């Protein structure tokens, strides 16, 4: 008793800090910051008030009324119980929750009874059953039986509001978490409250048409949100479920394991739930520093590639008959090691790692290249790339940490300038942060791009429109045409974000650096793939050692030789070739073997040349999960583990390490680092990367033993000076990949694929008129190599510029041979001659 009395009196004596108030909850005095919601203060004290609509990351709504408490101000009680999720703390407030107030308790019980009136109580067939807040609270606080005797309101169910998201309106308690999420967080208000009174419901269109046109909003815009899966996770009942997880399992079947998303470079925390060795679903993990509580649909739903029927589980060796045959690990290793040793002593080996490796695996690849293959011919960039980009990465990106630029600093920045970067498609969680920053902190977001994309619109962004390829000039001239942006960039905390597309534009990185130097803004590079940043820091590039030291640095080489116990002078000193250089050398017979990780030739600027190089080179070793254009041409294929079956670390774009443990144990799949370690042993070299843990320890030692040189200015590539090519009636092509397209990690996900944005060709009205193109009707772009057709859509692009998605579904590089900034011919209608269209499309289909 004395103890209980002491506590409040102590609080009573303590001074109330500036900006705080003193109030009482259930008889306990507490000091809370002004503006805090009562429900949150109670939560901090360990008093749980039941709630459905309240979510800490959404604006308060007070929709479900489950959190009613009794409140009195200065001794005067409020006439009715108040919703604690909408009322903020005030000085002298006295709050009584259901624990101490019979009034609050009765009010909550009443609300619960009303919520259950129309609830179908179909828990046995509901996906939420077993982890349902409504179920839990009804069991804990609800009545044992219903007094409601009339017919319940029913709706046809389930309603497909997209191919992935299913809506069951009977179960809904109208808490509006999903609609608030869509409006506030994602900016895709595709669902909203419809009707009134007892007929009030969540919907997407006029109720009359709901059944048929549910996936269309009234103005005909199809429902697509890259973040729709989050509404399922935050739904406090089973009203929103996913087609993918529907009826697959129950919470008690599932083993949950924390994991990290393997798709983009944000490195979101996830929770992977699996049952009997199969992943059933992924949920967003809670990491306030990175993804808060959200993930994109790709991260949530694209995981069935690990159980794809065609997954390679045993080593394959190309036999005499030219076909791949299953082989034992020792046999495959011996054959690979023999061929690689011969190639090393011959003309050499090139190593292409692909951009999806963990830090540990990338480290093992580079060590394999430098120690076992004795070459610097290693590159992680399986996409358009340039020497200028590499220089920029070495100077500005390698070795940076979240202290440089992080998710949090995006929120604090006065302005964020996105250059050649479409956040919603390339790093959706960065987009969510930018939107939050713009919405809540008043951050200005500016884009150097071609048209007002949904990223621009939803971040209230400003578009600095330029021609594709003209980005560098736009940045250089920014002081004249957008003086206010330069001024804002000069303020403390301003950030410039550069996307991977910048590598396709000569001179852009140099221009970015010049702008950063002029204004003092910080620059961050956001690649599209999860492994790129880690691979850069691990040294899987032709010019850098692990830790960011250049390969030409004799001191760094000596330190690594000592650390790796190599003879002095054995590390190659000459900078190696980049991806294009390696492929060109392979095609020209200057390399005898290629070691290829997860590389898809269609991502490269010249897919045909890449395939040709793979065909021509003497020996190809492929480390792959599923058959690909590389395994088709490989002599030995070694299967490797997908992310869920190995441990490792993704280093996200901030430079933050995102370590994860094995989710599915004992599947027999081995990570790249172990395969390479064993292969190196066969080649009589020790890499000491048997396990991700060992590889990581080795990486940390290596990174610490070298010093990164001071940043050097980026030299613009010579092409930057080239005179403007004669357009000759051509139009310029702007292109990037959409989030959901034909990526190899999105196979066997029909429901996810259905939520992809439609592939359209965008152009402005004047250009459309000039070429006789009608919106909605097909339009075709062509080069000498081939042609592509998409339905046309009008957008605010500059004159004579068209935009198409890069791989939805056909690869632009493959079909046209040009990428972002390239020149194409534009015409109305589908491909002119159906026969001529067959060519490129057919070939691409074969390769994909």
Residue numbers at the binding site for another protein (CB under 8 A): 124-125, 129-130, 157-158, 246-250, 252-253
Shortest distance (Å) from residue 149 CB to another protein: 15
Q: Is 367 helix (H, G, I), strand (E, B) or coil?
A: helix
Q: Any residues with CB less than 8 A from the CB of 371 and at least 6 apart, and which?
A: 564, 566, 570, 571, 680, 685, 687
Q: Which is nearer to another protein, 248 or 314 (CB)?
A: 248
Shortest distance (Å) from residue 665 CB to another protein: 19
Q: Which is nearer to another protein, 304 or 730 (CB)?
A: 304
Shortest distance (Å) from residue 132 CB to another protein: 13
Calculate the dihedral angle through the C-alpha atoms of 580, 582, 583, 588, rounding to the nearest 10 degrees: 120
How far apart are the C-alpha atoms of 459 and 438, rounded to whole Å? 6
Q: Which is nearer to another protein, 130 or 399 (CB)?
A: 130
Nearest to 703 by CA among 348, 409, 401: 401
Q: Which is nearer to another protein, 124 or 197 (CB)?
A: 124
Q: Which is nearer to another protein, 120 or 627 (CB)?
A: 120
* Beta-carbon count within 10 A of 194 CB: 16
Q: Which is nearer to another protein, 210 or 512 (CB)?
A: 210
User: What values do phi and psi take at 211, rounded to 5?
Assistant: -60, -45
Which residue do the tokens 């000076």 mark?
A: 721
Shortest distance (Å) from residue 124 CB to another protein: 4
Q: Which is nearer to another protein, 129 or 659 (CB)?
A: 129
Shortest distance (Å) from residue 250 CB to another protein: 5
Alpha carbon of residue 801 to chain centroid: 28
How far apart are the C-alpha atoms of 493 and 409, rounded to whole Å? 7
Shortest distance (Å) from residue 756 CB to another protein: 22
Strand partners, 72: 77, 94
Strands (DSSP E) contained in 737-819 are 761-763, 778-782, 787-794, 801-805
Q: Which is nearer to another protein, 143 or 246 (CB)?
A: 246
446, 417 Cβ separation under 8 angstroms: yes
DSSP secondary structure, 85-102, as one string: TTPBP-TTEEEE-TTT-H
The two structure tokens encoding residue 210: 């709901």
Nearest to 360 by CA among 643, 689, 777: 689
445, 437 Cβ separation under 8 angstroms: yes
How far apart are the C-alpha atoms of 689 and 698, rounded to whole Å? 8
Shortest distance (Å) from residue 254 CB to another protein: 11
Shortest distance (Å) from residue 154 CB to another protein: 8
Q: Which is nearer to another protein, 209 or 253 (CB)?
A: 253
Q: Is 326 helix (H, G, I), strand (E, B) or coil?
A: strand
For the chain, the straight-line distance linking the first and the last C-alpha, in angstroms and rounded, comes to: 74
The two structure tokens encoding residue 195: 């009707």
User: What values do phi and psi take at 158, rounded to 5?
Assistant: -85, 160
Q: Is 510 helix (H, G, I), strand (E, B) or coil?
A: helix
How far apart are the C-alpha atoms of 388 and 823, rounded to whole Å? 22
Helices in 463-606 by DSSP H: which ranges? 471-476, 478-481, 483-489, 508-519, 532-538, 554-563, 579-587
Shortest distance (Å) from residue 171 CB to another protein: 12
Shortest distance (Å) from residue 271 CB to another protein: 20
DSSP secondary structure, 249-289, as one string: --GGG-EEEEEE-SSSTT--EEEEEEETTEEEEEEE--BTT
The two structure tokens encoding residue 573: 């000193």
Q: Which is nearer to another protein, 247 or 323 (CB)?
A: 247
Q: Which is nearer to another protein, 145 or 721 (CB)?
A: 145
Shortest distance (Å) from residue 125 CB to another protein: 4
Shortest distance (Å) from residue 294 CB to another protein: 27
Shortest distance (Å) from residue 256 CB to another protein: 17
Q: Which is nearer to another protein, 235 or 680 (CB)?
A: 235
Q: Which is nearer to another protein, 4 or 125 (CB)?
A: 125
Q: Which is nearer to another protein, 121 or 573 (CB)?
A: 121
Shortest distance (Å) from residue 603 CB to another protein: 35
Question: How open is the CA angle 113-122-67, to the nearest 5 degrees?
Answer: 30
Q: What is the CA radius of gyration of the chain?
A: 29
């Amino acid at each position: 008793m004395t103890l209980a009395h002491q506590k409040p009196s102590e609080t009573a004596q303590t001074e109330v800090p500036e900006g705080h108030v003193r109030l009482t909850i259930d008889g306990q005095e507490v000091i809370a910051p002004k503006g805090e919601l009562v429900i949150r203060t109670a939560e901090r004290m360990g008093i749980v008030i039941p709630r459905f609509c309240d979510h800490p990351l959404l604006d308060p709504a007070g929709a479900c009324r489950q959190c009613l408490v009794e409140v009195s101000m200065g001794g005067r009680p409020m006439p009715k119980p108040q919703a604690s999720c909408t009322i903020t703390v005030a000085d002298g407030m006295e709050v009584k929750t259901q624990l101490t107030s019979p009034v609050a308790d009765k009010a909550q019980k009443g609300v619960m009874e009303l919520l259950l009136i129309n609830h179908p109580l179909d828990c046995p067939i509901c996906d939420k059953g077993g982890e349902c807040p409504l179920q839990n609270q009804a069991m804990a606080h609800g009545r044992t039986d219903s007094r409601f005797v009339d017919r319940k309101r029913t709706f046809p169910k389930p309603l497909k509001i997209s191919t992935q998201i299913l809506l069951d309106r009977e179960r809904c308690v109208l808490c509006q978490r999903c609609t608030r999420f869509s409006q506030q967080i994602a900016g895709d208000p595709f669902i909203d409250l419809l009707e009134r009174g007892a007929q009030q419901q969540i919907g997407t269109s006029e109720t009359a048409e709901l059944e048929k046109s549910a996936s269309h909003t009234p103005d005909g815009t199809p429902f697509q949100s890259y973040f729709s899966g989050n509404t399922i996770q935050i739904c406090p009942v089973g009203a929103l479920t996913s087609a993918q997880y529907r009826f697959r399992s129950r919470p008690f079947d599932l083993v949950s394991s924390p994991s990290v998303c393997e798709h983009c470079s944000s490195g979101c925390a996830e929770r992977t739930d699996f049952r009997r060795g199969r992943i059933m679903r992924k949920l967003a993990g809670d990491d306030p520093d990175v993804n808060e509580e959200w993930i994109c649909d790709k991260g949530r739903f694209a995981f069935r590639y690990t159980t794809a029927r065609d997954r390679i589980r045993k080593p394959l060796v190309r036999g005499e008959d030219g076909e791949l045959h299953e082989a034992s690990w020792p046999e495959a290793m011996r054959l690979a090691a023999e061929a690689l040793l011969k190639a090393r002593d011959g003309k050499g080996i090139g190593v292409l790692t692909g951009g999806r490796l963990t830090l540990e695996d990338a480290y093992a690849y580079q060590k394999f290249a430098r120690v076992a293959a004795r070459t610097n011919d290693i590159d992680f960039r399986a996409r358009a790339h340039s020497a200028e980009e590499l220089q920029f990465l070495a100077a500005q990106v390698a070795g940076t940490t979240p202290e440089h630029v992080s998710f949090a600093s995006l929120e604090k920045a006065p302005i964020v300038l996105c250059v050649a970067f479409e956040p919603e498609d390339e790093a959706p969680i960065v987009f969510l942060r930018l939107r939050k920053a713009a919405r809540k902190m008043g951050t200005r977001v500016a884009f150097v791009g071609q048209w007002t994309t949904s990223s621009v619109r939803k971040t209230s962004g400003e578009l600095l429109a330029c021609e594709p390829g003209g980005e560098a000039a736009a940045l250089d001239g920014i002081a004249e045409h957008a003086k206010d942006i330069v001024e804002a960039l000069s303020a403390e905390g301003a950030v410039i974000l550069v996307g991977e597309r910048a590598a396709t534009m000569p001179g852009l990185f140099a221009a970015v650096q010049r702008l950063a130097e002029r204004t003092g803004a910080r620059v961050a590079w956001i690649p599209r793939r999860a492994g790129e940043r880690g691979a850069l820091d691990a040294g899987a590039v032709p010019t850098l050692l692990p830790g960011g030291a250049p390969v030409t640095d004799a001191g760094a080489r000596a330190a690594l030789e000592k650390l790796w116990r190599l003879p002095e002078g054995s590390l190659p000193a000459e900078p190696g070739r980049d991806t294009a250089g390696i492929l060109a050398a392979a095609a020209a017979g200057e390399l005898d073997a290629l070691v290829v990780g997860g590389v898809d030739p269609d991502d490269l600027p010249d897919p045909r040349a890449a395939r040709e190089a793979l065909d021509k080179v003497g020996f190809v070793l492929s480390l792959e999960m599923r058959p690909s254009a590389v395994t088709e041409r490989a002599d030995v294929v070694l299967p490797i583990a997908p992310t869920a079956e190995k441990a490792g670390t993704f280093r996200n774009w901030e430079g933050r390490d995102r370590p994860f443990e094995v989710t599915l144990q004992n599947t027999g799949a081995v990570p790249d680092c172990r395969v390479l370690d064993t292969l190196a042993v066969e080649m009589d070299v020790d890499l000491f990367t048997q396990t991700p843990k060992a590889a990581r320890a080795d990486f940390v030692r290596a990174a610490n033993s070298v010093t990164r040189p001071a940043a050097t200015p980026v030299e613009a590539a010579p092409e930057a000076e080239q005179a403007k090519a004669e357009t000759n009636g051509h139009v310029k092509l702007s292109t990037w990949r959409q989030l959901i397209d034909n990526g190899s990690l999105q196979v066997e996900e029909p429901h996810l694929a259905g939520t992809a944005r439609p592939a359209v060709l965008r152009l402005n009205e004047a250009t459309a008129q000039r070429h006789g193109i009608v919106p909605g009707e097909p339009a075709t772009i062509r080069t000498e190599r081939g042609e592509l057709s998409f339905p046309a859509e009008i957008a605010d692009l500059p004159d004579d510029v068209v935009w198409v998605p890069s791989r939805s579904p056909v690869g632009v590089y493959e079909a046209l041979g040009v990428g972002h900034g390239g020149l194409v011919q534009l015409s109305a209608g589908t491909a002119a001659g159906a026969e001529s269209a067959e060519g490129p499309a057919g070939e691409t289909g074969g390769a994909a």
